[in-house]
Structure 1
Amino acid sequence: MKPTELTSTGTEVLITVRGEQYFEEADPDATELMTEGVLFPTEEGLVLRYEESELTGMTGTTTTFEIKGRQVILTRSGSVNSQMVFEQGVQHTSLYETLYGELTVDISTSLLENRMSERGGTLEIRYSIAIEHSVTGRNCFYITVKEK
């Protein structure tokens, strides 16, 4: 999807995504990305969409957050294809597609704070992830969205 296609259905926004990963016996790892995207309302909530870049190692991938109140669905499509469902207190299992095959990913969300509106806001997601049913660590997303 091209940037012009992204903006044709919503409000152009500036997005800051801070990701943190915590592993046993290791220092936390944090990354921060600032990018442009689009935010638009749906019948069920909001959709936040942006294009990945070389900085994330996922050039050619579109990332979409479907924000539906107490549930958020993160979908990546393009050079990387995956879907993760976040819902506080609930475990969801999905497939993560790689160049080498598919992996089963279990997501257990411990915190989901949705403070988003059609004008922007914040979204915080804390979760643990298990790949092929083996816990690999805890992660956090802190997302800030502002109108351009």
Structure 2
Amino acid sequence: MTSIEENGVPVLLTIRGEQYFEGTDPDATELMTEGTMAVTPEEMAFSYEESALTGMEGTTTTFAVRGPQVILTRSGAVNSQMIFEEGRQHTSLYETPFGGLTVDIQTSRLRHNLTDRGGLMEIKYSIAVEHTVTGRNCFKIRVRRR
């Protein structure tokens, strides 16, 4: 399979992240950025470069939709993989400059209407670091072809 960059079409991504911690107001961030989207028979994927704004400058983030799963991969300055699958828990390693952490992702909702023209995706999940729940999160992503 060729890389996303080689056969990707330019897209505009609007990514809203919401984090909910016990006893505090939700923390929401919204990012609008340019990226690429590629569609193969096996998957639909979109990628973008993180910036200083997200604190992960030098990192490429990719969301790959494969059947019932969405796989979020970060590579570069930050390396991690998170697998989202509604009703299932997946454990992965999150590498930081200070060492690796075990991260458990429990996905409660995964919906999308993505096509080769773009669309919307919503992922709601809870995250546990070293098996201790640290909060609930939600991604809402709009993909539009440029």
> What range describes the TM-score normalised by the shorter chain of this pair?
over 0.9
Q: 1:38 aligns with which of 36, 42, 55?
A: 36
SS of equivalent to 1:8: helix
TM-score by length of 1: 0.94
Give the aligned partner of residue 10 of structure 1: 8
Please say if residues 7 and 37 of structure 1, whose CA atoms lie closer than 8 Å, have aligned partners that are also in contact. no
Q: Give distance in 2, aligned partners of 1:107 and 1:114.
A: 18
Q: Give distance in 2, aligned partners of 1:57 and 1:80.
A: 10
State the number of aligned residues. Answer: 144
Q: 1:102 aligns with which of 100, 103, 109?
A: 100
Give the aligned partner of residue 112 of structure 1: 110
Q: Give distance in 2, aligned partners of 1:23 and 1:130.
A: 12
Q: Give distance in 1, aligned partners of 2:99 and 2:5.
A: 33
Give the aligned partner of residue 86 of structure 1: 84
Structure 1 moving runs of 4+ over 2 Å: 5-8
Summarize deviations over 1:14-65 as a string: whole Å, max 9, x none: 0000000000000000000000000111221201111001110111000000
Q: Which runs of 5+ in 2 are unaligned?
A: none
SS of equivalent to 2:33: strand
TM-score by length of 2: 0.95
Q: Give distance in 1, aligned partners of 2:131 and 2:5.
A: 38
Q: Deviation at 1:8?
A: 3.3
Q: Which runs of 5+ in 1 are unaligned?
A: none
Q: CA RMSD in A?
A: 1.1
Give the aligned partner of residue 135 of structure 1: 133
The percentage of counterpart residues that share the same residue type is: 64
Q: Give distance in 1, aligned partners of 2:83 and 2:74.
A: 12
Query: For structure 1, which segment, 94-103 or 38-47, has the greater mean C-alpha deviation from structure 2 after superposition?
Result: 38-47
